[in-house]
Amino acid sequence: MDAEPPRIVFESPSPCRDADRAERLLHDALSSSRAPGSGWLVTMRIERDAQKHLKATARIDDGDGVAVADRSLDGEGPECAGLAKAVSVWAGLVLDSRMQAAASLEQPPPTPPASPVPGAQATQAPPATAVAPSSTPTAGWPAPAQPDAKTPEHDWYLHHDAGQGRAFEIGAGTFLMTGTGGGALAGPTIFAVIEGGNGIFLRPALAFGASLTSLPPSDVRSSMWGAARMDACLRLPGLYTRHKGMQLDLCGGTDVGVTTVTIDSGTTTLPYWDLGPSIDLRGELASNFSAVLRMVAGIEVLREQFQDSNSTTETVPLVGGRIELALSWDIR
């Protein structure tokens, strides 16, 4: 029997905050282990489950690439050292049991005892029965768990498995915008993010803004704007440390509201309706709180006209946009 140390592979370490330390621990713990032949492989892969908890999937392959044993282990927190220790203990037990099984196959059959009576014919002992190695380890470790369902990160959009609660967030922030015809405006906004299923998130919002005194509109004394917006978004997932990562929402929607323009001679109220895309960059701060940077662009559908202070006819611009900075709270 040509016993050799197995080759060790640590896959997808990015979810681990201590990836380097966990990999060194795995290699050090298995450095003294031996496999029954050459080319044996111990693989440890780190993933996240639907609740973003760490999970280690371990597998041992023989020299022909045939799976010998596998194991799934769940962890707590952002570090993987504990998972690496557990995998190394399990892999060591499996390799030891394989070495013992291989050694028992190589033992020669017992020699028949000499006949005690001269001239008597010795009775030949029955040949030893070869015991095939078990497909699963039995040396003090439970049978491997069945593979779990794939995690949300396997898909190109973020979703939750059946039976798990859907996400619901509320938030508030401020914005700066232009394109209403009354100059630059700023004001508050409130919104909600509701998971609708199949990777789609709905984002209703309300916003109210007033013209900036530091950036007065040309030939307009002041202006105000208020609107309700509804977006449909696709939230893209990522592999990152829990409560310290980034998410990207790609959205499309519409604003419906009014713009009030005040000039020297009076006030004009204009209907406002635009259509366009938006992008949310969401950074998790801690626990269920996140900071959101949002950019919105739109094409004005109505393009109403009004008279400015110089009695010149002004037309609402075709394209407008705004940038928002907000905080959100996941209350699912």
- Say if residue 236 is in the same domain as residue 311: yes
Convert the pLDDT of each residue in 204-238 to its tens digit.
999 999 988 666 566 788 889 999 999 999 877 65
Judge whether 127 and 109 are in contact, CB under 8 Å: yes
pLDDT value at 266 more than 70:
yes
Give the model's pLDDT for residue 131. 46
Q: Are 273 and 302 in contact (CB under 8 A)?
A: yes
At residue 171, the pLDDT reads: 95
Phi and psi (nearest 5°) for 4?
A: -140, 155
Query: Residue for token digits 């209350």?
Result: 331
So what's the pLDDT on residue 135? Answer: 46
CB atoms within 10 A of CB 244: 12
Residue 303 lies in a domain: yes
Is residue 285 predicted with pLDDT exceeding 60?
yes
Highest mean pLDDT among 76-80, 152-156, 159-163, 251-255: 251-255
* pLDDT attached to residue 59: 93
135-150 residue pLDDT tens: 454 444 555 555 555 5
Burial of 307 per CB tally in 10 Å (0-12, 13-18, 19+): middle
Task: Tell whether 229 is covered by a domain.
Answer: yes
Q: Quick one: pLDDT band at residue 121, thresholds 50, 70, 90?
A: low
Q: Which of 68, 85, 74, 73 is nearest to 6 (CA)?
A: 68
| 135 or 60, greater pLDDT | 60
Predicted local distance difference test score (pLDDT) of residue 218: 61
pLDDT tens for 1-46 read 577 888 898 888 888 888 888 888 888 888 888 888 888 899 999 8
The pLDDT tens digits of the residues spanning 69-100 come to 999 888 877 888 888 889 999 998 999 888 88
Highest mean pLDDT range out of 76-80, 247-251, 305-309? 247-251
Q: What are phi and psi of 79, to 5 degrees?
A: -105, 150
Each residue's pLDDT tens digit, 294-304: 999 999 998 88
- CATH number of the domain to which 23 belongs: 3.30.160
Statement to judge: residues 232 and 270 lie in one domain: yes
**Residues 172, 306 share a domain:** yes
64 lies in which domain range?
7-107+134-145
Q: What is the mean pLDDT of the chain?
A: 80
Whether residue 129 is contained in a domain is answered as no
Amino acid in the structure at residue 117: V
Q: Are residue 87 and residue 199 in the same domain, yes or no?
A: no
- pLDDT for the residue numbered 115: 53
Domain count, the chain: 2
Mean pLDDT of the 286-291 span: 79
Contact between residue 326 and residue 299 where contact means Cβ atoms under 8 Å apart = no
* pLDDT of the residue at 139: 47
Query: CATH no. for residue 273?
Result: 2.40.160.20
**Structure tokens of 126?**
């029955």
Inside any domain, residue 157? no
**For 173-211, what is each residue's pLDDT tens digit?**
999 999 888 888 999 999 999 988 777 889 999 999 998
Q: Identify the top-confidence range among 104-113, 282-291, 301-310.
A: 301-310
3-state helix/strand/coil string of the chain: CCCECCEEEEECCCCCCCHHHHHHHHHHHHCCCCECCCCCEEEEEEEECCCCCEEEEEEEECCCCCEEEEEEEECCCCCCHHHHHHHHHHHHHHHHHHHHHHHHHHCCCCCCCCCCCCCCCCCCCCCCCCCCCCCCCCCCCCCCCCCCCCCHHHCCCCCCCCCCCCCEEEEEEEEEEECCCCCCEEEEEEEEEEEEECCEEEEEEEEEEEECCCCCCCCCCEEEEEEEEEEEEEEECCCCCCCCCEEEEEEEEEEEEEEEEEECCEEEEEEEEEEEEEEEEEEEEECCEEEEEEEEEEEECCCCEEECCCCCEEECCCEEEEEEEEEEEECC
234 and 275 share one domain: yes
Task: Indicate whether 200 and 138 sit together in one domain.
Answer: no
State how far the Cα of 34 lies from the Cα of 66, in Å rounded to an integer: 17
Is residue 160 domain-resident?
no
Same domain? For 253 and 295 the reply is: yes
On whether residue 302 sits in a domain, the answer given is: yes
Domain assignment of residue 128, yes or no: no
